[in-house]
Amino acid sequence: MPDTKDKDFLALQDYSAEEIWAILKLAKKIKSDPAGYGGRLSGKNVLLLFQKPSTRTRVSFEVAIRELGGNSVSLGWGGSQLGRGETIADTARVLSRYVQCVVARVYQHNDLEEMAQHADIPVVNALSDLFHPCQIVGDLLTIWEHFNSLEGRKLAYIGDANNVCNSLLIGCSKMGVRIAVACPQEFQPEAKILKMATENADERGSSVEVFIDPLKAAQDADVIYTDVFVSMGLENERSGRLKIFLPTYQVTVDLLKHAFNNAVFMHCLPAHRGEEVTDEVMDGPRSIVWDQSENRLHSAKSVLASII
């Protein structure tokens, strides 16, 4: 089993396929026997440092830490000295003397990189503007559970090439999942993300495709995945974005017909019903969003148990 102790969890690109598989397998074991891992973080303290609002990430990590026998300390960015001008480097040095891990949800990914550079403890990316690796570990676990495989499956992501899309591109390509992304021309993935994903896919004999037409991306997909069209911090762009994305990129029952007959629908949540997805899909028989959401807890446990 790969040794990831004390390793930061900032982006899935930093992890090998073998290391990601180890985290997924451990998550599955923990899910099937939570009591058996109840002391995994005994005596350990984990700081939750949140700059942005959260439901699933915040609750899943707090519960994960407690159920693994550890102790969580919550701190808002603005409520700490970071909000009054203390440098990230100095904060990281201090926190390293108090806790065994920092789980941070931030606006700027480079803030996480700076914290990890100066901390003597592992730092977990609980969401940044660039990546959301914890979400994708839970997603991969969900797909693996549902189909009993990952390699060779196809995921179609429809919508904005945001942090979730970036991490899906990296995570899927690392694990041999074919991924097709459909976005408006002005909201397509960055070249550096596509380069990493394409190189990963080449190594695994998989594929990465980018389309403007969502129906082309959905063709023969096992999973149709979407996220909000207006991410946190972009509220001032809301009206303009909705004009571009709607109705073309909304996941509907008709769009699902272009995927395989047994294809499932996934959404990282929160969902803006009636925008990126209809109620009929969200609450329909092909939706596995609640299993996906539950797996955020089990994957959070696995990530923590793997690095602390």
pLDDT 10s digits, 13-46? 999 999 999 999 999 999 999 999 999 999 999 9
Q: Is residue 7 part of a domain?
A: no
Is 268 designated active site? yes
Q: Is residue 161 part of a domain?
A: yes
Q: Is residue 4 part of a domain?
A: no
Q: How far apart are CA 44 and CA 59, in angstroms?
A: 18
Catalytic: which of 101, 165, 183, 268?
A: 268
Is 105 designated active site? yes
Residues 123, 210 share a domain: no
DSSP for 265-297, please give it: EEE-S---BTTTB-HHHHTSTTB-HHHHHHHHH
Q: Give pLDDT tens digits for 133-165.
A: 999 999 999 999 999 999 999 999 999 999 999
180 lies in which domain range? 135-293
Quick one: pLDDT at residue 83? 75
Is 100 designated active site? no
The identity of residue 130, as a single letter, is L
Is 132 designated active site? yes
Q: Is residue 72 part of a domain?
A: yes
Residues 44, 188 share a domain: no
Catalytic: which of 134, 227, 250, 292?
A: 227
Quick one: pLDDT at residue 1? 67
Catalytic: which of 132, 153, 267, 298?
A: 132
**Which CATH number is 246's domain given?**
3.40.50.1370
Residues 274, 170 share a domain: yes
Catalytic: which of 13, 51, 100, 135?
A: 135
Is 267 designated active site? no
Q: Is residue 166 part of a domain?
A: yes
Domains in the chain, number: 2
Q: Is residue 174 part of a domain?
A: yes
Residues 243, 140 share a domain: yes
Q: How far apart are CA 132 and CA 213, in angstroms?
A: 25
Catalytic: which of 105, 153, 178, 241?
A: 105
Residues 289, 300 share a domain: no
CB 257 within 8 Å of CB 214: no
Q: Is residue 91 part of a domain?
A: yes
Residues 104, 155 share a domain: no
Residues 113, 45 share a domain: yes
Residues 60, 36 share a domain: yes
Residues 301, 289 share a domain: no
Q: How many CB atoms lie within 10 A of CB 242?
A: 15
Residues 171, 87 share a domain: no
Residues 142, 126 share a domain: no
Q: How far apart are CA 15 and CA 131, in angstroms?
A: 14
Residues 115, 150 share a domain: no
Instruction: Write out residues in the chain with pLDDT < 70, as ranges.
Output: 1
Q: What angle do CA 262, 268, 270 make, to 5 degrees?
A: 125
Q: Is residue 196 part of a domain?
A: yes
